[in-house]
Structures are given as C-alpha cells and as structure tokens.
Homo-oligomer: A and B are copies of this chain.
C-alpha cells in the first residue's frame, strides 16, 4: 500500500488522517503542535519533524492547512514538501486556498516530477469524521485516478472538475452560493418575523417550491432555533470569501453579492461572533431590524 504523509492535524485533518489509518494505509504525520501527533501515534501513525521529512518517506503527501500562505510555506519553504519529494510522488492539498496558489504549487512540484492535486473538501468536521466529505479536485486526470482510492478513504462525493486550481475554483463557487443563500434565507425570515408572520410557517411553505434549498432546510431551521453551534464557523467562511474576492479582483470580476455579504460577515466578526455557525448572519438582521427569534 502507498505510504501516506499527512500534514496539518486540525479539526478537519486529524479525523481524515485517522480514516486513512483505519483504511490500512501506513501514515506518517506532522503538525505544528505536538499534542495532536501523539494522539495519532498511539493509533499507529509515525511522526516526522518537518514537511520535507514527511515527503522523503511518503508516496503520497496530503496537507490540510488553514490558508494559502500556510500551504505555500509548507510546500515551497525551507525543509518543505518540495525539498523532500521524489519524482513520482503525489501531493494532495485538502486545504481551501486561492486557486492561483494551487496553480503555483502545482507548477513548482511538476518540475520535480511530482503530481499535485488541489482537493478542497466540504462537509465539515462531521463529514471528516464519518469519511463522507465532498471533494472537489483539480489537476491531471492520471494523477486523479491514482489518488482516487485514497480520496475514497476520506470522502464520498468526489469530483474531478478540471486542471490545477479547478478544485479551489469550485470550492470558491460553493462558498459564494452558500453565503448568498444564507443571506436570502435570513432576509426572508426577518421579513416574515417583522411582518408578524410565523417564520417557521414561511420556511415550510417556501420549501415546497422554487425557493427550496438545503440552506433553507438546514440553516433556516438553525435560525429559527437560534442554534448557532458550528457547523461551519463564520471565521472560516469569511476567510474563504477573502479568496473569492481576491480572485475576483484579479479577474476583474464584479461580484456584487459576494462583496456585500462579506461586509455583513465583517460586522458579525466585529461583534465577536466569528466562532458561531455561518447561519448566525440572521442575528445581524435581528439586531438591525429590532426583532428576535429565540
């Protein structure tokens, strides 16, 4: 079986690495803080001191890191993945980062004979634990096929969308749609509430027609319950909107809606609500409109 190196054992990475161990892969891990690696070594993982050392002893290296600069330094930096990689290795980045960074990493690794796949995930920590993540993959078709069995150990709905960066583009599109649909639901439910109509009945009525969405179903219910346990944290969604808007600026693409919802998210962060679920957008509308749900 292919030897897997896993870098970044956060809320998403740790359960992903664990699922690879469960699937029988030999896994070597690396993380900035040591405590998490000890948890996984107890379950059979090896540890390496640097990303470069991970790459030296792996056929496939997976990273799951917070943001673009983290990926850039772990791959291209001193004692990074690139430095330790041998030709024929596959690099899979499960982080959500800028498409341009994914392309830059792809090109740098390609020169050394390493295939890179950008493979951002969605489905949250529960999806990571259950191995049911959606994975949107960019990169070469042949590399995708080689990596597929490994991806199937951590996710379920796995789609190869296009060349290097296409996975990140798709994830950005996902974050646009999710954020704007949350806004749609928040405005509608606040409109109902402020008009004196039961928002729960409005949600139920709307689910039967063209207004139907998973966001109306799931996040709409969270809004009605005032239950903002994440789910997906506003902090992280806000970070992803940075990628959306930065990429939009590079493309000279006017993203009216995405820009506006990011402003509203900033208001929520300013109020210290970054650790709440992204459905907590409704609290901003509540506050502004002087209504409450819960």
Chain A positions within 8 Å of B, measured between CB atoms, are 99, 122-123, 134, 136, 138, 157, 159, 161-163, 165-166, 169-170, 172-174, 176-181, 183-185, 187-192, 194-198, 201-202, 204-206, 208-216, 218, 244, 247-248, 251-258, 260-261, 264, 285, 288-289
Known: A180-B183, A211-B178, A215-B210. A256 touches B251 (CB 8 A): no
CB < 8 Å: which of B170, B191, B212, B218 contacts A202?
B170
Q: Once the chains are docked, how many angstroms separate the CA of A192 from the CA of B253?
A: 11
Q: Once the chains are docked, how many angstroms separate the CA of A194 from the CA of B197?
A: 41
CB < 8 Å: which of B161, B176, B205, B257 contacts A205?
B161
- Assess the B181–A187 pair: CB atoms within 8 A: no
Q: Once the chains are docked, how many angstroms separate the CA of A185 from the CA of B218?
A: 19
Residue numbers in B under 8 Å from A218 (CB-CB): 210
Known: A159-B201, A185-B177, A257-B180. A214 touches B206 (CB 8 A): no
CB < 8 Å: which of B123, B184, B201, B251 contacts A176?
B184
- Assess the A216–B183 pair: CB atoms within 8 A: no
Q: Once the chains are docked, how many angstroms separate the CA of A170 from the CA of B254?
A: 31
Least CB distance, A208 to chain B, in whole angstroms: 4
- Assess the B209–A191 pair: CB atoms within 8 A: no
Mostly, the A contact residues are helix
How many copies of this chain sit in the oligomeric assembly? 2
Residue numbers in B under 8 Å from A208 (CB-CB): 134, 157, 159
- Assess the B169–A206 pair: CB atoms within 8 A: no
- Assess the B202–A161 pair: CB atoms within 8 A: yes
Residue numbers in B under 8 Å from A177 (CB-CB): 184-185, 188, 206, 211, 213, 216
Q: Once the chains are docked, how many angstroms separate the CA of A204 from the CA of B256?
A: 24
- Assess the A197–B169 pair: CB atoms within 8 A: yes
- Assess the B254–A288 pair: CB atoms within 8 A: yes
- Assess the B190–A257 pair: CB atoms within 8 A: no
Residue numbers in B under 8 Å from A252 (CB-CB): 289
- Assess the B288–A162 pair: CB atoms within 8 A: no
Least CB distance, A292 to chain B, in whole angstroms: 14
Known: A170-B202, A173-B206, A215-B213. A247 touches B162 (CB 8 A): no
Residue numbers in B under 8 Å from A157 (CB-CB): 205, 208-209
Q: Once the chains are docked, how many angstroms separate the CA of A208 from the CA of B191?
A: 29
20 A-B pairs whose Cβ atoms sit less than 8 Å apart in the complex: A99-B195, A134-B209, A157-B209, A161-B202, A162-B198, A169-B195, A169-B197, A170-B206, A173-B188, A173-B206, A176-B187, A177-B211, A178-B210, A180-B180, A180-B187, A181-B181, A187-B257, A191-B255, A210-B214, A210-B215
